[in-house]
Amino acid sequence: MSERLLGLLAEFADAAQLRGAVLRARHERYADIEAYSPYPVDGLTEAMGVRRGHVPFWMLLGAIGGGGFTYWLEWYSAAVNYPINIGGRPTFSWPAFLPPALEMTLLWAVLLGVLAILVGNRLPRVHHPLFAVRAFDRASSDRFFLLLRASDPRFEPRRAREFLQTLSPLSISEVME
């Protein structure tokens, strides 16, 4: 099985260098980039051009679907499928069916939200190709990294390496899948 290039990883000593590198990469029109740092860096999210997430949409869909289906199921079972006339009371009394529908609304919103997070972050993933890069061990302690992914339409290995060298990184590593 032959390995293919996932991208080029540049290592930086401080957060300001990483943020500057991200700004330059965006200026050069690289779209598929990733930044790794041991702590949150002010302005990095805006510099990367990260768009609003998709999680709220899926949570809303789960809430509407879960609550609506539960309420419909209660109505169908009580008023249509198996109506019971007890002392002339109505077969369907909506206040009694609100608590279960509310619970299912919350349950399905949370379930679809968690699922959206896992899918969006490509989890669970036991091994990531970045773990094979020796320098990346310091990503959680004191180093900052910028990854230019090979899936970017603008990515060409030689030009991307030359671009990264202009940013004065501590090192540049190839990341193989």
Same domain, 47 and 9: yes
Percent of the chain with pLDDT over 90: 84
Beta bridge partners of 80: none
Summarize pLDDT for 79-134 with one digit per residue, the tens.
999 998 888 888 888 999 999 999 999 999 999 999 999 999 889 888 889 999 99
Do 38 and 68 belong to one domain? no
**Closest Cα partner for 9 from 161, 156, 177, 124?**
161
Enumerate the β-bridge partners of residue 35.
Answer: 146
**Residue-number span of the structural domain to which 113 is assigned:** 59-120
Q: Residue 80 has what pLDDT?
A: 94
Give the bridge partners for 149, in sequence order.
Answer: 7
Shared domain for 63 and 116, answered yes or no, is yes
**Could you give the number of structural domains in the chain?**
2
Average pLDDT in the chain: 94
The pLDDT assigned to 89 comes to 85
At which residue do the structure tokens 């499928």 appear? 81
pTM score, two decimals? 0.77
63/47 same-domain check:
no
